[in-house]
Structure 1
Amino acid sequence: MTEENHIIKKPQEAPGELPSRSWEEEEEPKNDAEEEDVNDDDDEDSSFGPPPPPPPLTPHPEDTLNYTIASDSLFYDEESPRKTDPPQVSPYSKDSEYNYDNDIDDDSVPPGAPAIDWEEDQSVEIPPTKVVQRWEKKEKRRKKLLRQDKNYFAAKAIASVACCLIVLVIILTAGFGSGAFQKDDEPSSAVIPPPTMTTAPTVSPPFETPVAPPVDNNSTVNRPSALQDLLVSASYNPDAFADVQSAESLAANWLIVSDPLQLDPTKDQFRIQQRYALLTQYFAADGSWSNEEGWLTAEDECTWYGVQCEEVGGGTARNAVVTVNFAANNVGRITPDIAMLTNVTTLNLTGNPWEGGFPTAITNMPQLRSLDLENLGLTDDISSIDFSVFPNMEVLRLRGNFLQGTLNSFYSMTNLVEVQASGGNNLTLAINSSIVNLAKLQTLNLNGCPITGGLVSEIGALTALTTIDLGRPAPSNTVGLTGPIPASINQLTQLATLDLSSNLLTGAIPDMTGVPLQILRLSNNNFGQAAIPDSIYTLTGLVELNMANCKLIGSIGTGIGSLTSLRILALDANFLSGALPDAMDQLFQLQSLTLRLNMFETAIPASWTSLVNLQIFDLQNSRIIGPIPGNIGSMASLRELRLSENRITGAIPGSLTQLVLLEELELNTNALTGGIPFDIGSLVNLRILRLHDNTRAVIPGSGLVGQLPSSLGGLTNLLEFEIYDNFMSGPLPWEMGSLVNLQLLDVEFNLFTGLVPDSFAGLSSLQSFYLSGNNFTAGAVLPESLCSIPNLDLVSDCDVTNSCSRCPS
């Protein structure tokens, strides 16, 4: 075969057609779909018979197998028709000859012909029909790739235009926000622009002050500037915006930058001001609230914790904040801009660790109907507060503070229903005839305040009153209500509580028949040695009756038995006399009975032991005679039994040890006889045990005798034990060394013998130990271990000592 036969001709392009890529070129990686298309083409060619003859070929020296691949060939990725890096490994390179192995179909070799090695035997001609077929395949593939190129570049052009438009919008927006497009001849206004967003906007970043663009008909409104202007103009504290760390600045900053709602200052002014006023309270606390649910979120401010709203405004109804309840939420102060919430009627700040002083911002909230400032520890003088600015005020609660000054214009709050100012305040109020203006008043509680004037008769016109509490914690000779209780008090047909204790009231106690009183406290007044009015016994709803230290005379009437709802009865420190009425055994609800410091000269009725709910029974120093009722053990609820300083005789009843709830037992300074019940140790809750001074010269044979029961060692809660001035004898029980809480032990002037037990060194809480005037072994040495008890005052006879004891002075 000649040299000519080794030349493979390229098909020539038709005139006007795009130049085709050489079919000898490297094949680009193709995906499965492309491979499928090519195979389909093969099937289509073979199914329609032999292809048309190829166009005439003009041999050219460059059309050989070593044809060089064009340097600007496009390479295609398998996943997308974009230009990418060339493949790392090519089936043939620029300098290699074309490899036919992959292109020759198996059916191109005649049956039975020997295998041809195309690399070694270059003399074999490629059949012309196959060359044409390969050319047509390549041509189809070239056109397909060309269509893909056109689609790719079109998509790329569209994406580029879109990117340019986005960049242009960003540049224009930034320019308007920074004032870059402001005209030179137009003045700028100082506004607070949005600073950079923080990832955790608990406290918004501080303000800066750029120049805002003017707002006119031909320009877009600068939102930061407009919003800032709105807030500054509405604020009650506009100077605070000069401080970028103020609560006002931080609140405005959050609305401008971080608020997901991005409210429009031209359309949403009401909501912007509402959210801002609330946010200033949040930022004033510096993020220390106990509960901040919903705050600093896109949620409607009406759903934020502590906030409640209602629709207001009639035809232009809008959801406005009407209640701000920050009770017990670790709130330290409120800002003046809380007054921007012009529809708030209820403000509750009770029970917070307050730091900001009395919140004077409330004086700009005339719409308030309920103000609760309890337990804030306020100490301000509020004389400057003009309460006439609250014409709608219904509930005013100031309890648990230490406020000073005068309640000015108090009677101008004509809608008042409840006033609470007890618990530490020292607020002055003069009761006068202007009180008639408070026709709606139900609760008047100024307990502990220095109230002056008197209970004027006009008070009877306040028929809605349920509580009058003008009492004081202790009597004073100079401060308090004066004069008598007016008779018009019986017109208060809703009155349940009347507390006038510790004032300077005089005169007789008026008839209060028909008044539904449950609590009547008249203690520490001077009612001129009057008797208990019989009308008191008609107040059958009474739960508490306290007429202690009222200079009452006479006796307790039998009508007392009709007060079956009584739980507290205090008639102590009067001049009452006569028999104690048996009718009191009807007071089954009674829990506290104090009759001390009277002159009864009578015995305790045995029927009283049926008062099974009685917890406090106090008849000290009331000239009680006779024995302790033998069945006193049936008063199972007793916690305090005080019968000291009377003339009670007889033995301590054994049933007394059944009072297992007993904490205080005072039977001292009487004329008791006999011994201490041996099982007194069953009173395991006992803290005070006083049995001293039961030897009365006027009553021969009086005084406690016998030995101290060893069961005393079981009273491990005992704090004080006094048994001095009796005739007790024998040794001190070893078991008493287990009374680890005992602070006072007085066994002086008895007949005790022997030695002080070494176990007493275990009385680690002992502060005073008095044991002189007994018959301890002469010359005996007290246990030196007692000296290890710190701060012990140890008093003993001079012949019974140790290194830390002292003789009686």
Structure 2
Amino acid sequence: MLSAGLSNVSSLSFKRSNGVTAEGMRAFANLIKLLNLDLEGCLKIHGGLIHLKDLKKLESLNLRYCNCIADSDIKYLADLTTLKDLQLSSCRVTDLGVSYLRGLLKLTHLNLEGCPVTAACLEALSGLASLISLNLNRCGIYDDGCENFEGKCLKKLKVLNLGFNYITDACLVHLKELINLESLNLDSCKVGDEGLQHLKGLVLLQSLELSDTEVGNNGLQHLCGLRNLQSINLSFTLVTDIGMKKISMLSALKSVNLDNRQITDVGLAALTSLTGLTHLDLFGARITDYGANCFRCFKNLKSLEACGGFITDAGVKSIKDLKALTLLNLSQNVNLTDKTLELISGLTALVNLNVSNSRVSNAGLKHLKDLLNLRSLSLDSTRVTANEMKKLQATTLPNLISMRPE
């Protein structure tokens, strides 16, 4: 039982506590000044939300991973009209449960990730005039019902996550009126080139997630007018070098994820006009030393991942002057040697370094002595031994907290 002395508390967290039960939640009823309540991962609270119905000042409620929570619980939230942030991911809430939220007109953030809802729930949400962030990731949503995205109130949405659903281009038709969107996640959806034409008017978009979709070169032409776009993920898509030339027109891009074996030196060269890039992920791209020369153009890079290509020590010469780098991943470039460690020895801002699956040896570790900010060092499947790594940590790099091999 909570002490009466806690009656003035404004924030309370019992995250992942098996000690909180539906009966025990009676003690919450008197916490009338409570603003924030975190019950994430509490698995014994089914039936207990009834004791929250009089918390008229509650603004934030976290019920993530409470897989005991069902529609019958959500109805007790209907009168909590001060709620602004409601987290329900991985609960057993359906469209019926969402319908109880109609009156929460101050709600700005709603997370329904992994809940068994359909697009029909959007009809209830379309009246939430303050909603700016909606997460419907992994809900199993189809196109039917997506016409409710055209509701007048949902036009205020800034963040929309539709990843890992069954939506197609037919759904994207209904997103074109969401003109305030700044972040859109379509990861692993069945959308393609034709669907992207409906995003042309979303000129405020800063982040677009298209990983593992059917988008190819032709679709990228529809994005060229999105001048505010800063981050785009095209991993595991059909985009090739030709598509990279279209991406290069997005001058505001700061983060590009191109995990794609269809990208070669030609595609990388098409990006050299994006001099403001701070993050570049080329995992699996077929980059050679010739293409690595393009890295010189990205002076602002803080994170570079060029794994699984054909880069040798000669190519690393184009990386050694990228002084802003805090993360460098060159793993699976099998011909890198100790010379690479010598070349990058001046990148003193590095926090994470990965040169796994290469020919680096114990002898090369001496070149890392000035990388005093290193916290993570991965040299798996190299000629470096665990004992030498431990010596490096003990004598030279005391800030290392993650080492492989270990």
With structure 1 as the length reference, what TM-score do the two structures score?
A: 0.39
The answer on 1:445 being equivalent to 2:110 is: yes
Q: Partner residue of 1:615? A: 278
Q: Partner residue of 2:184? A: 520
For the residue of structure 2 that corresponds to 1:741, the secondary structure is helix
The answer on 1:420 being equivalent to 2:85 is: yes
For the residue of structure 2 that corresponds to 1:483, the secondary structure is coil
Q: Partner residue of 1:222? A: none
More relative contact order, 1 or 2 (CA 8 Å, 6+ apart): 2
Distance 1:505 1:671 in 2: 40
Q: Partner residue of 1:499? A: 161
Which of residues 343, 355, 378 is equivalent to 1:720? 378
Alpha carbons of 1:384 and 1:667: their partners in 2 closer, same or farther (altered >3 Å)?
closer
Q: Partner residue of 2:393? A: 741
Q: How many residues are matched?
A: 380
The answer on 1:360 being equivalent to 2:360 is: no
Q: What's the CA shift string for 1:380-414, capped at 9, x where partnerless? A: 53432476994996855322765332142646827
Distance 1:596 1:449 in 2: 26
The answer on 1:483 being equivalent to 2:135 is: no
Distance 1:384 1:400 in 2: 13
Q: Partner residue of 2:123? A: 458
Name the amino acid aligned to 1:513.
K
* CA apart distance, 1:657: 0.9
Q: What's the CA shift string for 1:58-107, capped at 9, x where partnerless? A: xxxxxxxxxxxxxxxxxxxxxxxxxxxxxxxxxxxxxxxxxxxxxxxxxx
* CA apart distance, 1:537: 3.2
Name the amino acid aligned to 1:557.
L
Alpha carbons of 1:395 and 1:508: their partners in 2 closer, same or farther (altered >3 Å)?
farther
Contact conserved, 1:433 with 1:458, CA < 8 A, in 2? no
For the residue of structure 2 that corresponds to 1:637, the secondary structure is coil
Q: Partner residue of 2:132? A: 467
Name the amino acid aligned to 2:4.
Q
The answer on 1:379 being equivalent to 2:42 is: yes
Q: Partner residue of 1:680? A: 344
For the residue of structure 1 that corresponds to 2:320, the secondary structure is helix
* CA apart distance, 1:549: 2.5
For the residue of structure 2 that corresponds to 1:569, the secondary structure is strand
The answer on 1:537 being equivalent to 2:260 is: no
For the residue of structure 1 that corresponds to 2:284, the secondary structure is coil
Distance 1:714 1:595 in 2: 31
The answer on 1:557 being equivalent to 2:240 is: no
Distance 2:381 2:51 in 1: 64
Distance 1:627 1:663 in 2: 24
Distance 1:653 1:539 in 2: 39
Query: Radius of gyration: which is bigger?
Result: 1
* CA apart distance, 1:682: 0.6
For the residue of structure 2 that corresponds to 1:574, the secondary structure is coil
Name the amino acid aligned to 1:740.
L
Alpha carbons of 1:352 and 1:545: their partners in 2 closer, same or farther (altered >3 Å)?
same
* CA apart distance, 1:618: 0.7
Contact conserved, 2:193 with 2:220, CA < 8 A, in 1? no
Contact conserved, 2:40 with 2:62, CA < 8 A, in 1? no
Contact conserved, 1:524 with 1:549, CA < 8 A, in 2? yes
Distance 2:170 2:310 in 1: 33
* CA apart distance, 1:326: 1.0
Alpha carbons of 1:501 and 1:465: their partners in 2 closer, same or farther (altered >3 Å)?
farther
For the residue of structure 1 that corresponds to 2:123, the secondary structure is helix
Contact conserved, 1:470 with 1:500, CA < 8 A, in 2? yes
* CA apart distance, 1:540: 1.3
Distance 1:386 1:711 in 2: 59
For the residue of structure 1 that corresponds to 2:155, the secondary structure is coil
Q: Partner residue of 2:301? A: 638
Distance 1:379 1:708 in 2: 49
Task: Give identity over the alignment, percent.
Answer: 16
Alpha carbons of 1:562 and 1:638: their partners in 2 closer, same or farther (altered >3 Å)?
same
Contact conserved, 1:383 with 1:407, CA < 8 A, in 2? no
Distance 2:370 2:321 in 1: 15
* CA apart distance, 1:636: 3.1
Name the amino acid aligned to 1:720.
S
Name the amino acid aligned to 2:393.
N
Alpha carbons of 1:497 and 1:426: their partners in 2 closer, same or farther (altered >3 Å)?
same
Alpha carbons of 1:433 and 1:663: their partners in 2 closer, same or farther (altered >3 Å)?
closer
Name the amino acid aligned to 2:9.
F
Which of residues 233, 237, 240 is equivalent to 1:570? 233
Distance 1:388 1:581 in 2: 55
Distance 1:631 1:426 in 2: 44
Further displaced range: 408-417 or 630-639? 408-417
Distance 2:294 2:247 in 1: 17
Contact conserved, 1:382 with 1:407, CA < 8 A, in 2? no
Contact conserved, 1:460 with 1:489, CA < 8 A, in 2? no
Distance 1:398 1:629 in 2: 48
Distance 1:588 1:661 in 2: 20
Contact conserved, 1:419 with 1:444, CA < 8 A, in 2? yes
Alpha carbons of 1:522 and 1:670: their partners in 2 closer, same or farther (altered >3 Å)?
same
Contact conserved, 1:575 with 1:598, CA < 8 A, in 2? no
For the residue of structure 1 that corresponds to 2:156, the secondary structure is coil
For the residue of structure 2 that corresponds to 1:617, the secondary structure is strand
Q: Partner residue of 1:656? A: 319
* CA apart distance, 1:738: 10
Aligned Cα RMSD in Å? Answer: 4.7
Matches within 5 A, 1:386-397: 390=53, 397=60
Q: What's the CA shift string for 1:573-632, capped at 9, x where partnerless? A: 333335243454454554422121353456244463454543321121245578335352
With structure 2 as the length reference, what TM-score do the two structures score?
A: 0.71
* CA apart distance, 1:563: 2.5
Contact conserved, 1:579 with 1:602, CA < 8 A, in 2? no
Residue segments in structure 1 that go unaligned for 5+ positions in a row:
1-245, 248-279, 286-323, 328-348, 695-703, 726-731, 743-758, 769-791, 793-809
Contact conserved, 2:310 with 2:333, CA < 8 A, in 1? yes
Residue segments in structure 2 that go unaligned for 5+ positions in a row:
none
Contact conserved, 2:61 with 2:87, CA < 8 A, in 1? yes
Q: Partner residue of 2:4? A: 281
* CA apart distance, 1:497: 1.7
Contact conserved, 2:248 with 2:273, CA < 8 A, in 1? yes
Distance 1:565 1:608 in 2: 16
Name the amino acid aligned to 1:639.
K
